[in-house]
Amino acid sequence: MRAFILASLIVAATQAAAQDALQYVLQSAPRSLALAGSPQNLASLVSGLTSGAAVRLVAAGPSGFNRVVSFTPPARLSPAQAVSVLEQLDRDFYLAGIALPTPEQLAASLGASARTSLEPDERQPTPEEQALAALPADIRSAVAGLPPKEALRTVELADQQLIALGTPYVSGERRRDMVNRLRYGTGYVSASAGTTSFPPLSPFIAMPLSQP
C-alpha cells in the first residue's frame, strides 16, 4: 500500500513538473506552439526535453491515418534550456524557409533517431478543421495552436483589415504579417470595415504594412 502511495505521489509530482515546464515554455517562447504543430505535440516535446521521456508527435498522414513520430531526446534540459533550443530551432527553420516543420524534421534537428508509424484517424474533422487545413501553409503556421474557430476568425479579421487599408490583394507575406499582428495584439481592425468595403470606410485603421 505504501509503495502504491509513493508511486502515486511520484507520478503526481512528475506531472506537475511537466505542466510547470510547459507553462514556462509557452510564456517564454510562444512561437514554440506553431513550431510543434499542436498543443499536444508541444506538451510531449517539452516533457521529453525536460524529463528525458519519449516524445510523440502527431501529424496528418494519408487519408484516414495520422503519422506518428516517436523519439527520445539525446539530452535532458532545464525549462530555460528547452526555451533556448526551441527558439533556435524556430530561427533555423525560418531561415531555411520552412513555415511548418514536420515531426521528422524536428526530431532530426534535435539529433534524435525517430521512428515513424501510421495510426488510424477515426475522428471526423469538423468543418472548421477542414477549412483551416485548406489555408496556405504559412497562414496555418501563423494561427497554429489556436482553436480552429478562433484561427479562422483571426484570418477573416486580417483579410477585412487588409481590405480596409485599401489592399485587398496582397502577397502571402503581408497577409501573414497582418494575421500575426491581430493574433498578438499589434493590429487594429476598423469597426466599419466590412468584408468587401473598398476603399476604407473609416480613418481609424491600422498603420500601413511595410512593403515587402
Question: How much is the pLDDT for 201?
Answer: 43
pLDDT tens, per residue, the chain with 212 residues = 554 443 443 344 445 556 789 999 999 999 898 899 889 999 999 999 999 999 999 998 887 789 999 999 999 999 999 999 999 999 999 899 888 899 999 999 998 999 999 998 877 788 998 898 889 988 988 888 778 899 999 999 999 999 998 888 888 889 999 998 898 876 554 444 444 444 444 434 444 444 44
3-state SS string over 55-90?
EEEEEECCCCEEEEEEECCCCCCCHHHHHHHHHHHH
H helix and E strand count, the chain: 9, 3
Question: How much is the pLDDT for 17?
Answer: 56
Q: Would you give the DSSP letter of residue 54?
A: P
| The three grid cell numbers given for residue 88, joined into one nine-digit string | 533556435
Q: How far from 27 is each of 16, 73, 79, 121, 163, CA to CA, in Å? A: 17, 22, 11, 31, 32
CA–CA distance, 190 with 200 (Å, rounded to integer): 9
Residue of 82, 104, 106, 96 whose CA lies nearest to 34: 106
3-state SS string over 114-129?
CEEEEEECCCCCCHHH
| The three grid cell numbers given for residue 37, joined into one nine-digit string | 504543430
Question: How much is the pLDDT for 153?
Answer: 94
| The three grid cell numbers given for residue 169, joined into one nine-digit string | 490583394
Q: Would you give the DSSP letter of residue 53?
A: P
Question: How much is the pLDDT for 18?
Answer: 61
Q: What stretch of H or E contains 18?
A: helix 2-28
Q: What stretch of H or E contains 101?
A: none
Residue of 162, 164, 158, 163 whose CA lies nearest to 146: 158
Question: How much is the pLDDT for 68?
Answer: 95
Question: How much is the pLDDT for 196?
Answer: 44
User: Residue 92: how many CA atoms within 13 Å on its side-chain side?
Assistant: 12
CA–CA distance, 54 with 75 (Å, rounded to integer): 12
